[in-house]
A = this chain, B = another copy of it.
Amino acid sequence: MRYIPGALALGAALVLGSLATTAQAADTPAQTFRSGGLYAPTELVMTVGQGETRETATVERAVTLSCTPRATGSHPNPQAACAQLRSLSGDFTAVTGATTQRVCTKEWDPIVVTADGVWQGRRVSYTYTFANSCTMMDGQGSVFRF
C-alpha cells in the first residue's frame, strides 16, 4: 500500500496545479507549478566582451539560452548550444578548453566570455578569458558562438 501516498500526492499535485493555473488569472501567480515542475530548469545568459576579467570587460554581446523544455532563447543557434552543453553534461570548462587546431599569433587582445544562470537546476557562474579572437575560435564552441 506504500504506493498510495505517492499516488495521492500526484493527484493532489494535479489538482493544485489546475488551481494554480486558474489562480494565475488573479494577481497572485502560480508559485509552485510553473511548467509543471517536471524538469530541472536550464536558463542561461551568456556574454562576450573585450577585456581581461568579468569585472572590467565591456560587454559587447549578450544572449539568453533555455534548454528545457525545448532549446530556445536569443542565442542564434539554441539547438546547437544546448546539444553541446548536454554532450558535456553542462561543463563549460570543456567548451572553452577545446583543443585549438588553429595557428594563432600570441598577441594579447583578450576577450572574456561569461555564462550565468542555471544548468539543470544547478547554479552556474562561469568566466573564461581568451588571449585573442583567434584562440577563441575553437573554444567558443556552439555555446559562445553568437
Contacts and interface: CB of A to CB of B under 8 A. Distances in A.
A43 B45 contact: yes
A76 to B, nearest CB: 8
Interface in A114-133: 116-118, 121-123, 125, 133
A66 B74 contact: yes
Task: Give how many copies assemble into the complex.
Answer: 2
Interface stretch (A4-12, A55-63, A86-94): A55-63
A73 interface: yes
B118 A47 contact: yes
Given A31-B133, A116-B116, A146-B34, A62 B41 contact: yes
Contact of A117 (B37, B116, B123, B145): B116
